[in-house]
Amino acid sequence: MIIVMAAGASESEISVVVRSIEEMGYRPHLIRGVERTVIGAVGDERGKARLQSLETLPGVENVVPILKPFKLASREVKKEKSIIAVGEQVRIGGEALVIAAGPCSVETQEQVLEVALAVKESGAHLLRGGAFKPRTSPYAFQGLEEKGLRFLAIAREKSGLPVVTEVMESSQVDMVAEYADMLQVGARNVQNFSLLKRLGTVKKPIFLKRGLMTTIQEYLMSAEYILTHGNPNVVLCERGIRTFETATRNTLDLSSIPVLNEITHLPVMVDPSHGTGNFQYVMPMAFAAVAAGADGLMIEVHPHPELALSDGAQSLRPSKFGLLMERLKPFAAAAGRKL
Ligand code: PEP
Ligand code: MN
């Protein structure tokens, strides 16, 4: 249920409502909008009719059910798009597009630093790079783990770019959160509910990728796990889904962008690298994503894609990434975004 407070409701009236929600055994989530505060009450669906009685409290305008199965992620609860802060400077979901770029895997200090400085020079806002890698084959490179996180931290220091990197399991969360500015949940972990719950308790923002086989509704239910466990800072990322098509690694579902923009207030980024699996298709799909309303992009960049330990085929050389950033400008302007 959503408890909509009247436009001039006082702080003490809000506190009374919050306390009453807790007393009824529900979890209150305060959402302060430009005009008014709304309070989401989430918990057992069966007894929710009791919440209707809150309508009689002073300062309450009305109590309405949330129709979507995802509650806190829904536009019903929050009409304006959320703006998610990463580090001191980066804001995802506002007018400015946010570009995350970097290697698939952190391989050496030189490699990640070279990419960080090059993508920064071309106008990227975040550095990406995996230290814990979810690989299909157990014989493939699994990542440098904590050493990789240290390399990323040094690249951040030298480039000034905040770092987004993947966390694969709950036991790694504290370590990854210590080094990273934003924690990535990979496509394969999108329904790892114990990891999602754990990420609800961290103070850093979460970059949640869509799964290979998750519907948009299932995807938003995954975001809901993080939100309802206490972390409101979630950014979504469309990275392609599995279909019958084999000409591309995945089918980049660009239609999810307008759908998500309609039903959730969470920012939506797009990863055309994993979405296509081929460096030649990254640029056109990046343009299309921005034209369709994406709030940002995640792009894999490697100084020597032919030598990359993972995802070389879909990685851009730094010079090609620079070209993409230049050519993206008219698309950003046409979509009413700053770059
Ligand atoms: C990645 O970002 O390198 C990655 C493994 O992505 P995904 O989880 O989308 O496959
Ligand atoms: Mn990759």
Going by alpha carbons, the residue nearest to atom 1 of ligand 1 is 104
Residues 23 and 146 in one domain: no
Q: What is the pLDDT of residue 245?
A: 98
Residues 191 and 45 in one domain: no
Residues 52 and 171 in one domain: no
| pLDDT level of residue 32 (50, 70, 90 thresholds) | confident
Q: What is the pLDDT of residue 122?
A: 98
Indicate whether 286 belongs to any domain.
yes
- CATH code for position 28: 3.30.70.1140
| pLDDT level of residue 285 (50, 70, 90 thresholds) | very high
Q: Helix (H) and strand (E) counts for the chain?
A: 10, 14
Q: Which of 135, 167, 184, 251 to mutate to test the pocket of ligand 1 (most atoms within 8 A of CB)?
A: 184
Ligand 1 site: residues with CB under 6 angstroms?
A: 104, 130, 134, 186-188, 209, 239, 274
- How many structural domains compose the chain? 2
Q: Picking from 31-40, 136-145, 167-176, 298-307, which range would have the lowest pLDDT averaged per residue?
A: 31-40
Residues 294 and 197 in one domain: yes
Q: Which of 163, 209, 222 to mutate to test the pocket of ligand 1 (most atoms within 8 A of CB)?
A: 209
Residues 17 and 164 in one domain: no
| pLDDT level of residue 328 (50, 70, 90 thresholds) | very high
Ligand 1 atom nearest the C-alpha of 130 is 3
Residues 300 and 171 in one domain: yes
Residues 288 and 234 in one domain: yes
Indicate whether 41 belongs to any domain.
yes
Q: Which ligand is nearest to the CA of 273?
A: 2
- CATH code for position 137: 3.20.20.70
Domain span holding position 286:
84-334
Ligand 1 atom nearest the C-alpha of 184 is 2
Predicted structure pTM score: 0.95
Indicate whether 262 belongs to any domain.
yes
What's the whole-number mean pLDDT along residues 172-197? Answer: 98
Q: What separation in angstroms does the CA of 318 have from each of 76, 129, 274, 283, 315? A: 42, 14, 17, 13, 9
Indicate whether 237 belongs to any domain.
yes
Nearest to residue 240, comparing CAs of 229, 260, 256, 223?
Answer: 256
Residues 52 and 158 in one domain: no
Residues 190 and 88 in one domain: yes
At residue 314, does pLDDT exceed 80? yes
Which of the pair, 82 or 32, is modelled with greater confidence? 82
Residues 279 and 131 in one domain: yes
Tens-digit pLDDT profile for residues 159-171:
999 999 999 999 9
| Angle, CA 142 vertex, CA 138 and CA 147 arms, to 5° | 155
Q: Give Cα 100 distance to the centre of its chain.
A: 11
Ligand 1 atom nearest the C-alpha of 237 is 9
Going by alpha carbons, the residue nearest to atom 10 of ligand 1 is 187
Indicate whether 151 belongs to any domain.
yes
Q: What is the pLDDT of residue 48?
A: 80
Indicate whether 89 belongs to any domain.
yes
Q: What is d(CA 315, CA 102) in angstroms, rounded to the nearest whole number?
A: 9
Residues 139 and 236 in one domain: yes
Indicate whether 70 belongs to any domain.
no
Ligand 1 atom nearest the C-alpha of 311 is 3
Residues 109 and 225 in one domain: yes
